[in-house]
Amino acid sequence: MSIEKIKISEALHDLMPPEYQDMVEDATYGNQDRGWKDIGESKELIEQHSLCAGCPESIAFRYILASLPAPENTVFVGSTGCTSLVFPMVAVHNIHSLFGNQNAVASGLKRALKIRFPDVEKDVVVLAGDGATVDIGLDYTMQSWFRGEKFTTICFDNELYANTGGQESGLMQKGFVAKMAPVGKLFDKVRLPEIARESGCHYVACLTVSKPNRVEKVLKNAILVAREFGPTYIQLYTPCILEIGKQSMEGLDEMKDSEAIGGRFVFKEYMTDEVKEFLKQKDAEEKDRKKAAKLAAKEAAKA
């Protein structure tokens, strides 16, 4: 939304619950330096959520919402699952329609927004679970990559169907015993990052959400690359502590274990040479901008 549209009508301002007043005054819409470090210092774009206590998905959501380069011009597309219980509380327009069609919806949405707002960069971001991305929606996920659709796909990989009670999914590791895998899953975890790389994604990253800096950087990369080049893909390990038998406080340890050497979620990042060059340039520009801003602040303080 053009940032100036996110304000409360003056005549009715004092009726609005403070959470909305905060959203207008203290949220970081339009701030090009926004990032995960704003959490705790500014109003977050997520009001409340009904996820389980300690669910890593909730922290992933918060990092992502804090790190979007332009939330005022972003529309999310979600799918059925735990994420869709959070989305009503998110202060960015978002769509849930069916289970598994998220990349198809995003394809139509991105094209419509491009037609309607040819001069504004409207970011479309898909955020769905692994069942939606890899099982029921795999066709639509991959076909959007084949077509070169210019949006980012984020998969919250918790290696099972959490919202329906812990059934086997394609991203579950081999041998794991779960509902619908009564003798253990019989085939390997689907290698979607590699599939994404081969299917036309210009930037791919697979990681856990244990390191907010890294989540922020990867998300910004993915969205900037999607604007310029085409599809990008991020797979985030957000373990379902409930279904793997962990305590609320054990999510972080689970993620750290799985990203250690030899783990399933050792950080990996693929990008084309063109993208590498582009991101290098963007980083340099960012650095220069921040340096100039710092200098200007110093000058202003002197004056």
Partner 1 sequence: MNKPVDVQNRVLKGYSNVQIGEKSKYKDTQTYTDPNFLFNEAEVTPAFMTGSEVIKEAIRRANIDLSVAYPITPQSEAAALIGELYAEGYMGDYFRGENEFGVMSQCAGAAFGGARVFTTTAGPGTLRAFENFPMWAGSRLPIQVCVTMRGVNSPLSIQPDTLEMFFLLETGMLIWHAETAQDLFDFILKGFIVAEMPDVHLPIAVCCDGFFVTHTKDTVALPDEKYVLPPYDPYKSPVVCMDMESAPVRMMRDPFVMKSNYISYMTQASWQLEVRAAIERSRKYTKALIGDLIECENIDREIIMIGSGTAVSQAREAIRLLGLDGIPVGLVKIKTLRPFPHEEIAEALKDAKKIFVPEFNVAGYLAREIKAVLPNNDRVVAGPHVAGGMTMPSEVIADEVKKALGMKTSGMTARG
Partner 2 sequence: MSDYKVVPGPEAFLPPAAAMMGIELPDPGEGHIEGRIVPEDEAIEHAARKFLGAKVPTIFPGPQILWHWNESAAIKAACVREMAEILPARLIPMADYRPKYPKINPEVEINPNHPNLTIWHNKIDVCLFVGVHCHQANLALKIIRGGTSCYTMAACGMSGHEDACLTIRDVHEDTLRKLTACIKKLKAEGVKSQAEPFEQFRFSREDRKPAYLT
Residue selected from 58, 73, 152, 258 as contacting partner 1 according to rule CB under 8 A: 73
Kind plus residue range of the DSSP H or E element containing 126: strand 123-129
Residue 41 in the binding site for partner 2 (CB under 8 A) = no
- Other beta carbons within 10 Å of 221: 22
Say if residue 273 is exposed, middle or buried (CB neighbours under 10 Å; 0-12, 13-18, 19+): exposed
Q: Report the alpha-carbon angle 46-48-52, nearest 5.
A: 115
Note whether 36 binds partner 1 by CB under 8 A. no
Residues 238-277: x where in contact with partner 2 by CB under 8 A, - otherwise, as a string: ----------------------------------------
**Contact partner at residue 72 from partner 2, partner 1, none, CB < 5 to 8 Å by partner kind:** partner 1
Is residue 183 a contact point for partner 1 (CB under 8 A)?
A: no
If one asks whether residue 181 binds partner 1 (CB under 8 A), the answer comes out as: no
Q: Which is nearer to partner 1, 18 or 245 (CB)?
A: 18
Provide CB contacts within 8 A for 17, sequence distance 6+.
Answer: none
Report the residue from 16, 52, 195, 279 that binds partner 2 according to the rule CB under 8 A: 16
Q: Is 122 in the site for partner 1 (CB under 8 A)?
A: yes
Number of CB atoms found within 10 A of residue 157's CB: 26
Residues in the chain: 303
What is the rounded CA–CA span in Å between residue 216 and residue 234? Answer: 11
- DSSP letter for 267, please: -
Residue placing its CB nearer to partner 1 in the complex, 77 or 219: 77
Tell me the C-alpha distance between 204 and 202, whole Å.
7
Q: Which residues bind partner 2 (CB under 8 A)?
A: 1, 5-12, 14-18, 20-22, 25, 48, 88-89
Q: Which residues bind partner 1 (CB under 8 A)?
A: 1-2, 5-6, 23, 47, 72-75, 77, 84-85, 87-98, 101, 104-117, 122, 139-140, 143, 147
